[in-house]
Amino acid sequence: MDPPTSNADSNLITLFLCGDVMTGRGIDQILPHPSNPRLYEPVVRSALEYVQLAEEANGPIPRPVDFPYIWGDALAEFERTPPDARIINLETAVTTSEDFWPKGINYRMHPKNIPCLSAARIDCCVLANNHVLDWGYAGLTETLSSLAAAGIHTAGAGKDIAAAQAPAIIDLKNKGRIIVAAYGSETSGIHWNWRATRSRAGVNLLPDLSPRTVEKIAQDLNPMKQRRDLVVFSIHWGGNWGYDIPEAQREFAHRLIDEAGVDIVYGHSSHHIKGIEIHQGKPILYGCGDFLNDYEGIGGYEGYRGDLALMYFITMNNDTGRLANLEMTPMQTRKFRAHYAARQDARWIANMLSREGNDLNTRAEEGADSRLQLRWM
């Protein structure tokens, strides 16, 4: 493990990452500009029903809330450790489109509610996921234009394959750049027809996790990486539940680091937190869980504690490209808002990360300041 270093050092970059941010459906309904609540799900026909479920579980939710409301205690954590860049997987369309994709679950947030993202000063939304096209190609186009108008970078979806594959570049001035490349996998539920082509908008979809695919990614990323740049590889992969990390995912992540110049593998899709690995001094987050969603009051899979979340503060040395520190703040969603997790829940996360990290040579320790600290061999 690298020795502790001070965040005051100019060669240290701290990034904020988190699990899926799902500001559509029920959460959209409590914001100042709710979308048409009409849904096309097998059972639920109105997004307002998700608000009702959450209120039955945890009490009344004020309406409308102000834009910072959903971030709750997370805003204090940003003040405590101001990140150099804030990157999320935005798992919802930002649109007024009524052209729903007949897939059963469709997320959207009204474009006028984008200030809820600006309230947390989000720098980049990765969009290579299985909800960005929930409201059709018109919905994707409006999502891209709405985020651009708000000054938020996007990666992983675009008007054609070239735009979808183009990484977002966050310029940190004298501290270098963050290059965010975003890809999706069919294993997460992204329909193959959603892939972007030369003549069609869509998602940057991986064909597979093979060495040949890594070689193509390396050809795209290596030429653009400059000294002091950090590459974040965002990937939406795997199912919603289960701690198992397929060997194919581990091999793929290792190859990205070894061959494609990737510094952080940012994995998501699972509705709960999964294990973390450090390979060649670089972090691999196999599954970050959900950070904000409207699942309160919905039963099933309680053993995975999908209500718990983490704020990942990843500090990298951009001279060496190695991990200097990884701190995590345990959170819990209640009333569609991020709250500090109770001490016993933070301990549950620490024990789970240590258990799942046993084969990955990592463990989590509780700190006196309510954060968890990752340790690695």
β-bridge mates for residue 236, sequence order: 184, 268
Q: Is the peptide bond before 3 cis (omega within 30 degrees of 0)?
A: no
β-bridge mates for residue 365, sequence order: 373
* pLDDT for res 9: 59
Among residues 71, 222, 93, 75, the alpha carbon closest in space to that of 157 is found at 93
**pTM for this model (two decimals):** 0.96
* pLDDT for res 3: 40
* pLDDT for res 10: 76
Among residues 84, 87, 81, 82, the alpha carbon closest in space to that of 371 is found at 81
C-beta separation of 336 from 292 below 8 A: yes
Each residue of 9-52: pLDDT tens digit? 579 999 999 999 999 999 999 999 999 999 999 999 999 999 99
C-beta separation of 124 from 152 below 8 A: yes
Identify the segments of the chain with pLDDT beneath 70: 1-9
Rounded to whole angstroms, how far apart are CA atoms 331 and 221?
34
* pLDDT for res 369: 85
